[in-house]
Structure 1
Amino acid sequence: MGRIRRGDGPLVEKNHVDLSLPSAARMYDWLLGGSNNFEADRNACELLLEVAPTSREIALNNRWFLQRVVRVLAEQHGIRQFIDFGSGLPTQRNVHQIAQEVDPESHVVYIDNDPVVLSLGQSLLDENDNTAILSVDMTDTGTIFGHPDFTRLIDFTEPAAALFISVLHCLPDSAGPKALVERVVDALAPGSFVVVCQLVSDDQKVRDDVTELMRVQTGGNWGRVREEADVAEIFEKLLVQQPGLVDVTDWRPDSELQQRQRSIEWTEFGGLGKVTPRN
């Protein structure tokens, strides 16, 4: 099977990737300053910046949130198992790198079905026995939970952390993003945690314009920009931890992040929830 490289993009199996079709994962990579993207992804980002000019800021703030929340879970809550749904492309300071700095025996499972993510992720993780990346649709929890690498690394009788970082807006309502999170919550042991954040806006025009742009650019591989109330509903089965559900820039920020530019048109909104004992 042939391999190709387009511009400064990643090495991938050409039979598996339509280079003319942008993906949310590769667009996110470009907004973060990465090189694992193609011309179509970059062009789509330029269109996105016309509609929402602070999209780069929102991507950066979201990435820093991921890094902070994983460290808090590992250092302060003793979590040693992480499940990253819709993990996206590997970049600096990935989940396993942060968690394994706290405890080298921490286990991390990444889940994504983007072929570029899988190609690069596999090469990154090949020498790390405590991590795996699964080529599964993140809504297919039955396949995920039964996958040999998942059962090797994740013990549902012990607390774990499930991460849905900037990914649920990629799912249409018909895919049941709330139901997906609830299935995962029901499988986790009490004392586990769930992290959810997604793109929201209180401006109807921004929600409609970005949703339509991304739907067209990704060939329908997109959900919608939602409202804060939609995110709050996802936490109904969880005990929300301080500081509550917020713009992720405000989730336990450090001094460096306080100097960062905020997104204006839309925000990443969410937080950390704890799985409580069943009645």
Structure 2
Amino acid sequence: MTADGVRSEEIDTSRPHPARIYDYLLGGKDNYEVDQRAGDELAAAAPEVRIGLRANRAFLRRAVRHVVTEGGIRQILDIGTGLPTSPNVHEIALDAAPDVRVAYVDNDPIVKSHGDALLSSEGATSIVLGDLRDPRAIVEHPDIRRIIDFDEPVALLLVAIVHFLTDAEKPEETIATLRDALAPGSFLVLSHATGDFADRTAAQAVYNKATATLNLRSRTEIERFFNGFDLITPGLSQAPFWRPDSPPPPGSEQIGFYGGVARKSA
């Protein structure tokens, strides 16, 4: 058992995990040889993958700053947070407003272990083990409730996570359950992989050997996840073109990530 109470048998290092592949491709150190092999396969199948992941991460930073500075949000629920990559969501948010509270959720015990170490001194921030497939358990988790007051507006982050749910797992219903728990004025920040701009079959096959399959969806399919929310300008866009704060890098037109931010009306 690890120091944070996670049983060692819960940590599967025999198969690549999307969070650790992501970490490896972003240049992180919290990954294993199996994740590195999968990351190298992914980069060979889709050479633009690294620029795409960086663009997705940059979208997250811009979206968090927007909901805090312009949207007035002071509490954030980040589901599928992945391994810590600085600046983390709470670092971005706290830089914009010192009273923001952040609750992280991930289903990988290794992510939980690293998060606990990182957040040990952050009283307004927590991380819990949870799975997007069980949204009610997330909303009702006591450590989430300690940080998040669902009677007040919340920014719900579903960044590069919904594409790991199959259609059979009913992602629209999952998001609707989370939406219904949010107060009016809350935000949804969502990004999702797509095959709209290039053939991603080979890259998809790499992920499908990992602990979660990659389900590419079209713009129309992804827009349905925003039902009950009002997309803010510029709507659902390729990640590097959502309110860029600098010119998008060359090749951005081929990046296979959509990103959008939407608000729940009264």
Partner of 1:183: 177
Once the two structures are superposed, the pairs formed by residues 135-154 of structure 1 within 5 Å of their partners are: 135-154=129-148
Once the two structures are superposed, the pairs formed by residues 64-213 of structure 1 within 5 Å of their partners are: 64-202=58-196, 205-206=199-200, 208-213=201-206
C-alpha contact (below 8 Å) 2:59/2:259 kept by paired residues = no
Partner of 1:274: 263
What is the alpha-carbon distance in structure 1 between the residues aligned to residue 253 and residue 32 of structure 2? 27
| Deviation of the 1:114 alpha carbon | 0.5
C-alpha contact (below 8 Å) 2:241/2:248 kept by paired residues = no
What is the alpha-carbon distance in structure 2 between the residues aligned to residue 46 and residue 264 of structure 1? 23
| Deviation of the 1:18 alpha carbon | 2.5
Q: Secondary structure at the match of 1:194?
A: strand
What is the alpha-carbon distance in structure 1 between the residues aligned to residue 83 and residue 199 of structure 2? 29
The TM-score with structure 1 as length reference comes to: 0.89
C-alpha contact (below 8 Å) 1:249/1:262 kept by paired residues = no
The TM-score with structure 2 as length reference comes to: 0.93
For 2:226, give the aligned amino acid: F
Q: Which runs of 5+ in 2 are unaligned?
A: none
What is the alpha-carbon distance in structure 2 between the residues aligned to residue 16 and residue 78 of structure 1? 38
What is the alpha-carbon distance in structure 1 between the residues aligned to residue 184 and residue 84 of structure 2? 30
RMSD over aligned Cα, in angstroms? Answer: 1.9
For 1:211, give the aligned amino acid: Q
For 1:235, give the aligned amino acid: F
What is the alpha-carbon distance in structure 1 between the residues aligned to residue 129 and residue 87 of structure 2? 21
Q: Cα 1:74–1:55, aligned 2, differ >3 Å: closer, same or farther?
A: same
Partner of 2:221: 230
Q: 2:251 aligns with which of 249, 262, 267?
A: 262
Partner of 1:6: none
C-alpha contact (below 8 Å) 2:219/2:258 kept by paired residues = yes
Q: Cα 1:233–1:263, aligned 2, differ >3 Å: closer, same or farther?
A: same
Q: 1:241 aligns with which of 219, 232, 235?
A: 232
What is the alpha-carbon distance in structure 1 between the residues aligned to residue 206 and residue 262 of structure 2? 31
Percentage of pairs with the same residue = 37
For 1:174, give the aligned amino acid: A
Q: Secondary structure at the match of 1:197?
A: strand
Spell out, residue by residue over 1:31-84, the C-alpha distance to the aligned partner (whole angstroms, 9 max, x if none): 111111111111001111122110000010111111111011111111001000
C-alpha contact (below 8 Å) 2:80/2:161 kept by paired residues = yes
What is the alpha-carbon distance in structure 1 between the residues aligned to residue 255 and residue 249 of structure 2? 16
| Deviation of the 1:174 alpha carbon | 1.6
C-alpha contact (below 8 Å) 2:61/2:92 kept by paired residues = yes
Q: Which runs of 5+ in 1 are unaligned?
A: 4-11
Deviates more, 1:95-104 or 1:124-133: 95-104
